[in-house]
Amino acid sequence: MFDLTPIDKNNRLQRDYFFMNLAVMYRTRGTCPRLKVGCILTSMHRLVAAGYNSSPPNQPHCEDVGCLLKNNHCIRCPHAEIAAISNLEHRYNDLTAYVTAQPCYFCLRALFMAGTKDIYYIKSFIDLDRDELARSFNIPMIQMPWPYKDCKDLIPFDSEAYRSKDNGIRTVKRETPVI
């Protein structure tokens, strides 16, 4: 379980927020204009793989030729979770996933097969089949509090910008988003 305060007692970014910030940074490389997603996989608090949704090498990108939709879901780009899993160097049985958007049914199944035990995400989507699958796999999917509601406005935490006098989170508007 994660601490709701992004800054720890030593004035460092708390681990769960640190890894989610990395996922937010990875999502900037995504090439699907419908939703850019980043995924970080960790084992024992160490980063072991990362990915973002983008077309395979030497294939056209959604932003260049348009999305390929099936059931209102883009299938041109492998999802960030699949990209991260494909970047794993070996098998793990204790992975934690940090994903900027809640995994779809197929990505949840792939994360489970890769050894994922916990999934943290920011943006949620309604998918009753996925939720039922998560319960059957006994994988907690935990939505992290984030100061920006819209994924287009996700930016990394800046410890000074987000620290208030009581060590809580406060919302800071930026003129130009980092992403």
Q: Tell me which residues are annotated as active site.
A: 81
CA distances for 65 relative to 29, 43, 87, 146, 152, angstroms: 17, 37, 26, 32, 21
Exposed, middle or buried: residue 24 (CB in 10 Å: 0-12, 13-18, 19+)?
Answer: buried
Can you tell me whether residue 152 is helix, strand or coil? Answer: helix
Strands (E), the chain: 38-43, 46-52, 69-70, 73-74, 95-101, 116-123, 141-143
Chain Cα centroid distance, residue 167: 24
CB atoms within 10 A of CB 75: 12
Can you tell me whether residue 52 is helix, strand or coil? Answer: strand
Would you tell me the crossing angle of helices 128-137 and 105-113 to the nearest 10 degrees? 20
